[in-house]
Amino acid sequence: MNDAHSFEQARRSIIAVGQRIWRQGWCPATSSNFSQRLDDERCAITVSGRDKGALQDTDIMQVDMQGRSLDGQKPSAETLLHTQLYRRDQSIGAVLHTHSVKATLVSMHADGPVSWQGLELLKAFQGTDSHEGNLTIPVFDNTQDIAALADQVQGWMSVHGTGVAYLIRGHGLYTWGRDMTETLRHLEALEFLLDYYWQTHRLASAGERLMAGDAKA
């Protein structure tokens, strides 16, 4: 596949996934960024500050694996978090960063990594073939110092492996996969799991309040 065809295919893929994610309400305003690997040296990524539900060809740019623009357009500072993943794992073919309400709520209330086990939807993740598996994703504190955030991510992954996702507190979710189709599947499964986690958290809190009220009575 020549470079021009590869970039054109990536643009179509990113535009389509942007519309799908926007319809779910997971990339409000001009938030979020999406990328797809082109080769070992480049990836296609959304230009900073664009409406992800109405992306045009000119809203997708190319950067090298250090996050530097290859066509004069301005990438998001968070581009470095995408290219970090591509450099770390050659099998990663796409990265999606989203800002859903549930991802933000969970990130703000979790006091450490978030885990799930025993759920059928865990089988949506590459490499998991049983509901008996378990999934843990870290939560990193938000910062405008993206290089420092990338260092935190690298530190976690050096110990725990690359995994499939992470949360940034009060900010959003990053997930990735071997191609855009797999990455979107991971995103949809994670949104289900985050909703499940949040509803479980709310039920547990309500139960604690009820028990506290009974004790006072």
Average pLDDT of the chain, as a whole number: 93
Other C-beta atoms within 10 Å of 111: how many?
Answer: 6
Is 131 marked as a binding-site residue?
no
Nearest to 96 by CA among 107, 81, 116, 118: 81
Task: Report the CATH number at residue 163.
Answer: 3.40.225.10
- Cβ atoms of 157 and 163 within 8 Å: the answer is yes
Is 97 marked as a binding-site residue?
yes
Q: Which band of pLDDT confidence, cut at 50, 70 and 90, is reported for residue 132?
A: confident
Q: What is the pLDDT of residues 167-177, one digit of tens each?
A: 999 999 999 99
Q: What is the pLDDT of residues 60-103, one digit of tens each?
A: 999 999 999 999 999 988 999 999 999 999 999 999 999 999 99
Residue 151 vs residues 17, 79, 84, 146: alpha-carbon distances, Å:
28, 14, 10, 9
Q: How many domains are contained in the chain?
A: 1
Domain that holds residue 183: 3-216
**Rg, Å, the chain Cα set:** 18
